[in-house]
Structure 1
Amino acid sequence: MASNTSTAAPSRRYKLVFFVPVADSAACKTAVLAAGAGQFPNYSEVCFETLGTNQFRPGEASTPYIGQPGRLEEVAEARIETVVTGEETMRDVVRALKQTHPYEVPVYEVYKLEDF
């Protein structure tokens, strides 16, 4: 008797969260979504965005996109969250984010997701 159980391992899913100045959020969203983020069955370009304020003090050796070295800055930023399927796609998405993000060191987080 044939089994209905698939032996193929499902692709790992990840959540990408990144922070970007509001003025640059559209370009970063476009880049990560074009690289394969935000794909669900019957849906594409899926992400969630919230607004907040980021605080940082650029180091003396930095060349900040916003602000001056040694001076405390507060910047209106978007927190953007999206889901990515597959490790290679996740790597492509992070690469696209790093190439598009205006900061010297983009702030982002990657989480492995579990299905329940």
Structure 2
Amino acid sequence: MTELHALVAYTPATHTDLVLKAIGDAGAGRIGNYSHCSFVSPGTGSFTPRDGAEPFVGQVGRSEKVAEDRIECVVEEPLLAAVVAALRAAHPYEEPAFMSWQVQGWR
């Protein structure tokens, strides 16, 4: 049985659909006979770009708050590297915030 991972990523609300398509096309969100399965919830991201940063939003040294979406989905372990690469390529931030961990699946 293939190991299953949960993937959570945060993206500006303006880019949610783009990121969802990219990670789904790379294999995220496959459940049975379905693809591109995810759960999205809105929130507020906060960050302060430091020296050397090239922020998509905001200015270096200034605290910023942005309307962001939390994307949650499952990813089969063999696809995880490709999904993360797709996430990074589609995401507008130079350092996207995301995490993944192994989960017990239903398979």
TM-score class, shorter-chain normalisation, is over 0.9
Whole-angstrom CA distance in 1 between matches of 2:78 and 2:33: 22
Q: What residue is the counterpart of 1:93 in the other structure?
A: 83
Amino acid at match of 2:64: E
> In percent, how many aligned pairs have the same letter?
38
Please tell me whether residue 25 in structure 1 is matched to residue 11 in structure 2. no
| Contact in 1 for aligned 2:4/2:102 (Cα 8 Å) | yes
> Hey, which bits of structure 1, 4+ residues long, moved more than 3 A?
none
Q: What residue is the counterpart of 1:69 in the other structure?
A: 60
Counterpart selection for 2:96 from 95, 102, 106: 106
SS in 2 for 1:93: helix
Give ranges in structure 1 of 5+ residues lacking alignment: 1-9
Amino acid at match of 1:98: R
Larger radius of gyration: 1
Q: Deviations over 1:7-37 (max 9, x none)?
A: xxx0000011000000011110000000001
Q: What residue is the counterpart of 1:46 in the other structure?
A: 37
Q: Deviations over 1:40-89 (max 9, x none)?
A: 1122210000000011110021110000000110000000000011x220
Amino acid at match of 1:108: F
Amino acid at match of 1:106: P
Give ranges in structure 2 of 5+ residues lacking alignment: none
Tell me the TM-score normalised to structure 1 length: 0.88
Whole-angstrom CA distance in 2 between matches of 1:69 and 1:47: 33
Go from structure 1 to structure 2 and tell me whether the alpha carbon gap of 1:69 and 1:30 turns closer, same or farther (over 3 Å shift): same
